Amino acid sequence: MISVVIPAYNETGNINPIAQRVSKVLENLGPYEIIFVDDGSMDGTLGEIKELNAKNKKIKFISFSRNFGHQKALKAGLDHARGDCVISMDADLQHPPELLTKLIEEWRKGYDVVYTVRVDSADTAFIKKLGSRLFYKIINLLSNVNIPLGAADFRLLDKKVVDEVKKFQENWLFIRGIVAWIGFNQTSVEYVVNSRTQGRTKYSASRMLALAIDGITSFSILPLRISIILGLTFSLGSFFYSIYAIYAKVFSKAVIRGWTSILLSVLFLGGIQLISLGVIGEYLGKMFIEIKNRPAYIIKEKDL
């Protein structure tokens, strides 16, 4: 059994094409199921999924009570998939369905995780390429996992890997990091990203930044340690500067003057303090939510 999990949020116009293309590929590969996870769409996405479900019982769905986010939609699909392997991909057709054959070939060779690495096309904007590169560089630098540059949520997981991922009950999910962290026998497949044919991307700059913060704070306490190091460094610098100021006042006729230097010092140190408090607040806020033990998502309806 092969399971394909496809999160969808406001993807009217993409549901039918991706269902047709994925079904066409899987028909020759054995028993399969396609699970659409409607992440609280506000357009006709759920209606299109239900129409497909009524015609083909291999196409199943989960519908959230509201928008919980892409990572939680992925998790819901993994939680409910029944396949011996589970493939996750986006609904916007930027992940080519024809690559499923290659992923399954690698899995049948004995790999437990087959992840894809995105190769940007020639018309990909420079800013998008730069942002993506910075995203992975920062996460790998500050967290204790190594995520390959260009790795996407388009991947195949063996059933035993899925069983391990199911054990993660945290609210701030970063599945790319989880898959890299849990190990197993992994390999990669490159693909050229397709242009989006319908709708708009759901990963804006702010969402990418939020995902990066979630990834870093989920797998590392390094930002807290950086705050400590900065605090110690500037405290030590202030101590030596205080000695110099006292010496200059007592033994030198030179007058210590200049509001500019004082103002810059106060503002700079104040900024460092606020950043450090913000880092601490980020961790404390997540701990506050986690100890409430709220569910990561709520299912409104499903047909599995």
Give pLDDT tens digits for 34-48. Answer: 999 998 888 888 989
Nearest to 90, CA basis, from 24, 174, 11: 11
The pTM assigned to this predicted structure is 0.71
Range name among 101-115, 134-148, 170-184 with the lowest pLDDT average: 134-148
CATH at 196? 3.90.550.10
Which residues have a Cβ under 8 Å from the Cβ of 178 and sit 6 or more positions away?
165, 168
Instruction: With respect to residue 173, please indicate whether it lies within any of the assigned structural domains.
Output: yes
Look at residue 239 and tell me whether its pLDDT is greater than 70: no
Long-range contacts of 277-281 (CB under 8 A, 24+ apart): 279/223, 279/224, 279/226, 279/227, 280/224, 280/227
Residue the block writes with tokens 């899987």? 26
Do 170 and 264 reside in the same domain of the chain? no
241 and 133, same domain (yes or no): no
Read off the pLDDT of each residue in 61-87 and give the average, rounded to a whole number. 91
- pLDDT band for position 88 (cuts 50, 70, 90): very high
Burial of 274 from C-beta contacts in 10 A (0-12 / 13-18 / 19+): exposed
| pLDDT number for residue 132 | 67
Same domain assignment for residues 149 and 279: no
pLDDT digits (tens, 9 = 90+) for 101-129: 999 999 999 999 998 888 766 666 666 66
> 228 and 197: one domain?
no
Look up tokens 């959230």; give the residue: 64
Same domain, 28 and 172: yes
| Better pLDDT: 181 or 290 | 181
Q: Are residues 152 and 277 in the same domain?
A: no
Its domain, for residue 264, covers 222-290
Ramachandran quadrant class, 192 (left: phi over 0; alpha: psi -120 to 50; beta: rest):
beta
Q: What is the mean pLDDT of the chain?
A: 79
In a domain, 212, yes or no: no
Strand segments, DSSP code E, in the chain are 2-8, 32-38, 59-64, 85-88, 113-119, 151-158, 186-192, 299-303
Q: Give residue-wise pLDDT tens across range 183-202.
A: 888 988 888 876 656 656 55
